[in-house]
Structure 1
């Protein structure tokens, strides 16, 4: 994996904002077309939500992988772009975009300056954070890890009493995923109806039956936390009618969704709809020529919010960018089997043949 670049001025063919799965694969597709890239992300690591929120959660709809953990997917994508030595600016937030198609200038909140001929926005839903329940003393329990909003390591909950709060996919998925690891799981929701795929609901019903590993407590909401010095002892829940109940617990996992913010990107004048950037379906170009958007942040008729769709969009954007960077060179489409392995001296996308690798700008 290429090292994180310190505050600097960089020149690249393509600046990719967002280093989640879609951004990482876009860097690969660009590399195969002799387009040098730089990755910029507000997180301190690549992988986006896959790395930050659920690295051990299995994903079932990645082609050729019946199941692959999110963290393993990110590692494989990193390995795939390793031959291109893609630099990345992590823990940085893009604050400024100036210029036009073929000559953009971007600035980060750390003072970095990036000059690029095209831009790909692969920012997912933008910068994200958990929606926290309004409970007294919450911060103390967050600091000790008694209250968490993401599952980074499943083994951390081995033999623990868990209270999981929420009624959507994340709450149900993790209740089912952790049922064989935790000592006991109590699933709290404000109503008896859950929001998830029918298959998962059927699994939940089976797991929450008599003697099952999951106990459903509905319709209840979180009311208070009880413990000492940030160490959780029990979670108090209540109904709208005021009935209360205490549940012994070592950890509370609260899944109430994420608050997301595109930040300065939303001020760039790009045509948008419902907080998503509208793009041309055939190229993923936005209303600003030379700026493209892929992955969850992009929208168009028929859009599916799937990682594999983001991969496809990364490929389309890279091919649409090629004539911007190489206006006098025809792009003859070839399959990767014809191009050769990335990094091999004869491969058109290899470092040996790349004519526009990202580089520090001259002072």
Structure 2
């Protein structure tokens, strides 16, 4: 049944940056509602790489995506955010000094400020143009993400792509898979230099097979059961690699969806904001994380965390007009007492 909700701040997106925005707003005594189209919190961390290690989170030399989300959820739990999952925010309108959001489920959310933390908006994998692709997608022979590494234990895996996801998963799955083949059209990979060096070393030790310069050509198998992946060079040379699974990592196709119709300042499917406050061109609406852009922007989770703090502090005067905000470190003031 559709809900009618009134709150201080509505946060669109339950990924890591959105969850940290709950904490930052809570520290300033602002109530929050979090809306996400996915059925669980975590955004891409949960949907695309729950077991993939992340190496650039401060104080965590290595942490899996799912573990990061669990820690962020625990951190913001004292502020009791209302989670509205499995629904998309469709509409935004102004009602005097307030903002009104409507969702795909018919919910109406009235708030004084909105924080857009929707990552890259709605996302889906870029699919390779192969015949019979839907047949093998339906059975899991072709996949675009890894939810559980154990599913590939003892399997023959072909990984296509040259970015971080392809290389990182090749290095991870070689520990459990029977055989891992990495397919790339050239010998230079678009990933962290250390990861590329580890991939080369693993190939030299015979732990990973590199199919270079090749690209995907076809899929083989019957009844939805994948048995091989056909590869081809630009010269037309073709070979088949035995495979139980093809993991295609060609990036994501991103769409802002209904957000693009709200009148926000856009720059190539990103929302332009003021760097110091993350404010958009619509009063009371701020954007943080991957969806936001400004000169010098870095698409890092840690920069999104910083933007969450800046946006929360910029929003405070809208929620508590006339009340001076004296900044204090959390070590000094602790957590606010619920009231």
User: Which bin holds the TM-score, normalised by the shorter protein?
Assistant: over 0.9
Describe the superposition over 1:148-203 as per-residue Cα deviations: whole angstroms up to 9, x where unpaired: 10011111111111000111111111111111111111111122322112211111
What do you get for the CA RMSD once the two structures are aligned? Answer: 1.3
List aligned pairs for 1:22-61, cutoff 5 A: 22-61=17-56
Aligned partner (choices 300, 303, 306) of residue 309 of structure 1: 303
Question: What is the distance in 1 between the residues matched to 2:226 and 2:32?
Answer: 46
Are positions 1:332 and 2:317 aligned together?
Answer: no
Q: Which residue of 2 aligns with 1:357?
A: none
Is contact 1:162-1:184 (8 Å) kept?
Answer: yes
Q: Which residue of 2 aligns with 1:207?
A: 202
Q: Which residue of 2 aligns with 1:194?
A: 189
Determine helix, strand or coil for the equivalent of 2:158: strand
Are positions 1:288 and 2:257 aligned together?
Answer: no
Highest RCO, 1 vs 2 (Cα 8 Å, sep ≥ 6): 1
Are positions 1:162 and 2:157 aligned together?
Answer: yes
Once the two structures are TM-superposed, the CA of residue 101 in structure 1 deviates from its matched residue by 7.5
Once the two structures are TM-superposed, the CA of residue 303 in structure 1 deviates from its matched residue by 1.3
Determine helix, strand or coil for the equivalent of 2:305: helix
Deviates more, 1:248-257 or 1:238-247: 238-247
Is contact 1:101-1:291 (8 Å) kept?
Answer: no
List aligned pairs for 1:42-121, cutoff 5 A: 42-99=37-94, 102-121=97-116
Q: Which residue of 2 aligns with 1:181?
A: 176
Once the two structures are TM-superposed, the CA of residue 100 in structure 1 deviates from its matched residue by 6.0
Determine helix, strand or coil for the equivalent of 1:142: helix
Once the two structures are TM-superposed, the CA of residue 240 in structure 1 deviates from its matched residue by 2.3
Q: Which residue of 2 aligns with 1:361?
A: none
Question: What is the distance in 1 between the residues matched to 2:72 and 2:187?
Answer: 40
Residue 93 to residue 116, structure 1, CA distance change in 2 (3 Å)? same
Is contact 1:102-1:325 (8 Å) kept?
Answer: no
Determine helix, strand or coil for the equivalent of 1:170: helix
Question: What is the distance in 1 between the residues matched to 2:177 and 2:277?
Answer: 47
Q: Which residue of 2 aligns with 1:239?
A: 233
Are positions 1:132 and 2:105 aligned together?
Answer: no
Once the two structures are TM-superposed, the CA of residue 338 in structure 1 deviates from its matched residue by 2.2
Describe the superposition over 1:280-311 as per-residue Cα deviations: whole angstroms up to 9, x where unpaired: 11111111111000001111122111101111
Residue 101 to residue 24, structure 1, CA distance change in 2 (3 Å)? farther
Describe the superposition over 1:296-334 as per-residue Cα deviations: whole angstroms up to 9, x where unpaired: 111112211110111111011111111001002211211
Question: What is the distance in 2 between the residues matched to 1:102 and 1:303?
Answer: 30
Is contact 1:102-1:118 (8 Å) kept?
Answer: no
Once the two structures are TM-superposed, the CA of residue 205 in structure 1 deviates from its matched residue by 1.1
Question: What is the distance in 1 between the residues matched to 2:130 and 2:242?
Answer: 17
Is contact 1:162-1:182 (8 Å) kept?
Answer: yes
TM-score norm. by structure 1 comes to 0.91
Question: What is the distance in 1 between the residues matched to 2:202 and 2:50?
Answer: 24
Question: What is the distance in 1 between the residues matched to 2:110 and 2:308?
Answer: 20
The count of residues paired between Structure 1 and Structure 2 equals: 339
TM-score norm. by structure 2 comes to 0.97
Once the two structures are TM-superposed, the CA of residue 9 in structure 1 deviates from its matched residue by 0.9
Question: What is the distance in 2 between the residues matched to 1:273 and 1:132?
Answer: 25
